[in-house]
Structure 1
């Protein structure tokens, strides 16, 4: 188990990098910009400036975000020896790529967005999926690939691909948390798994799914057992809200599910879920050094990218600023 003092150097670098994160006022300025050009001009004076300067058009904005995040990952990896905390956050990109590649194969969809923010080059994952057994990917991804393909072949339901790979992702994140024996990372994973399972259960209820599908969809790593979800799946939303009233998830569940029931949209639940996770990660702001600073900063960077993505996609599609603002998550700093 790493000691807080093992993070002295990387924490010092992060404290500097935190000063470059976008604050609430920065986000408001970008949001209030009349159009995409003006928004990009504001961002040009930020940490994203060099990447925005290389853009040929607004549709390369996602690539600019990716380049910025790659620099962050590189900086952190250069700053301390144990990269498993970083892998905890980047793994989702490998599993995203695996999902996209499998679905492209089985559904014949060539419109693929592949992330380059994972631990494995997406080209290697694609090679393995195409039958090249010499492709350089970890055993965990190989096993997940075969399980996902088996589930699809058995059911012909593309949703099963998501279920299998989400479970595999959370299993791998759980292994990292167990291996590091880091209390804060385990707490972060527990909350993420619980809230993910609550969201999954609600989605399946709205889709008139069944218990068997629910069992296949729930991920591991949370504090709420499967039996809890089986029981609440058959009961009302109010029963779920009451059951979680004394838990840390009370606001997310009460406000998020009430809005979901009233409107049919999970948007408020997902926003509150993200806000809960960033408030948990914010513990890293208040520690001078330790794993919390790394976990908090990585969560902050992912959250910042999500905020900018929401704003820019909204502006590209001509959505009014007030409507975009309703979807924005809290900032880290």
Structure 2
């Protein structure tokens, strides 16, 4: 990056990163989580949260026992703040929040396919569930921007980027199979190919490494699950995502190998820390947790190394999402009488 570009980037993010450093001090520490684990019930957990940054969410929600509303309020607040901080590099932010549009698109298409009402839609996407619903409700075709083919169009879709129109068209084609899982596989593949291409073209440094690592680790988890379920290497090949650092064919080649050989294979590609705990060798769920921790740590380390830029903002965002996830695990566990030691393991 030229000196002028570096200076502009620093000016864009100097205030935002300074604010993030303050927000990081408000993240819940291990002592707070230990108190919540030791709490008698979910009500006591919420009272502990009232001593923290979550007091604003508790005050805004009429029924403070509605823990989902409290956590949703906090997530929406943080997401809005992060969006404003990342405004100077909107494309980086949009790629992250497009994951929620991907989720909504899956839900909407599968709901249409099965004739049920869509449930569990997320508000955090770039486009939002209402607009996506309008896009898929009436589809036709139009020429794509390059003039090399056609893409689907709908009532609101003609102004949408080509990639989104293509996802809708590909999702509809997958619906013809009658298999909801086919919709998931096709849309996941389309999104992550787009993510890899966007990150590479943007030359985002550590954020590029995050997206490519996310694809690799998603493939590693899929491989572990397919091995556990004995689905066969052919099915695994259809479930893997293109665009990561590790070629898909290499994952397929390790389908029949031992868990130790698979771990060594990932270590050779820089993912050795996944297996610091032996559980990840045999448990796909443990591997998934280790992968999430790896990616969070990747951005956390970058957030400390890069004094100015989007990296510290993303590190904070992932830390906050993980914090909310852990609070939800504790509250749900308390409501269902799950022993604290089991909850501690889940965290």
Q: CA deviation at 1:77?
A: 3.2
Does the aligned pair in 2 maintain the 1:287–1:293 contact within 8 Å? Answer: yes
Which residue does the alignment assign to 1:250?
272
Map of 1:163 onto structure 2:
185
CA contact (8 A) 1:36 1:315 kept: yes
Bigger shift: 55-64 or 182-191?
A: 55-64
Aligned to 1:152: 175
Q: Which has the larger radius of gyration?
A: 2
Give me the TM-score of the superposition, normalised by structure 2: 0.84
Q: 1:248 to 1:34 in 2, by over 3 A?
A: farther
**Counterpart Cα distance in 1 of 2:88 and 2:21:** 18
Question: CA 1:141–1:65 in structure 2 vs 1: closer, same or farther (change >3 Å)?
Answer: farther
Q: Is the 8 A contact 1:73 1:86 kept in 2?
A: no
- 2:136 corresponding residue in structure 1: 129
**Unmatched tracts of structure 2, length 5 or more:** 140-153
Distance 1:91 1:178 in 2: 17
Label 1:139 to 1:170 Cα distance change in 2 as closer, same or farther (>3 A): same
Distance 1:66 1:88 in 2: 21
**1:224 positional shift:** 1.0
Listed as ranges, the matches of 1:15-30 within 5 Å are 15-30=21-36
What's the counterpart of residue 285 of structure 1?
Answer: 304
After TM superposition, the score normalised by the length of structure 1 is 0.88
* Aligned match for 2:234, one of 212, 219, 223: 212
Verify the 8 A CA contact 2:266 2:272 in the aligned structure 1: yes
> Among 92, 113, 121, which residue is 2:120 paired with?
113
Is 1:197 aligned to 2:223, yes or no?
no
Q: Could you say which residue in structure 2 is the equivalent of 1:38?
A: 44
Distance 1:321 1:224, change over 3 A: same
Q: Quick one: distance in 1 between partners of 2:82 and 2:263?
A: 40
CA-to-aligned-CA distance 1:89-143 (integer Å, 9 cap, x gap): 2111111111111222222343611111111121111222332612355432332
Is 2:292 aligned against 1:271? Answer: no
For 1:233, which of 230, 255, 260 is the aligned residue?
255
Q: Deviations over 1:150-183 (max 9, x none)?
A: 12313x2221111112122212322432343111
Residue 254 of structure 2: SS of its match in structure 1? helix
Distance 1:280 1:50 in 2: 30
Partner of 1:94: 101
1:119 alignment partner, SS class:
coil
1:296 corresponds to which residue?
315
- Partner in structure 1 of residue 142 of structure 2: none
Alpha-carbon distance in 2 for matches of 1:15, 1:180: 26
Shift of 1:285: 3.4
Q: For 1:150, what is the secondary structure of its paired residue?
A: helix
* Distance in 2 (alpha carbons) for counterparts of 1:11 and 1:325: 32
1:2-36 deviation digits (Å, cap 9, x = unpaired): 63514212111211211221122222222221111
Shift of 1:245: 3.5
Q: Per-residue displacement from partner, 1:63-90 (whole Å, max 9, x unpaired)?
A: 3323222222322333342222222321
- Bigger shift: 129-138 or 93-102? 129-138
Distance 2:242 2:65 in 1: 36
Alignment RMSD: 2.3
Is the 2:107–2:118 contact (alpha carbons within 8 Å) kept by the matching residues of 1?
no
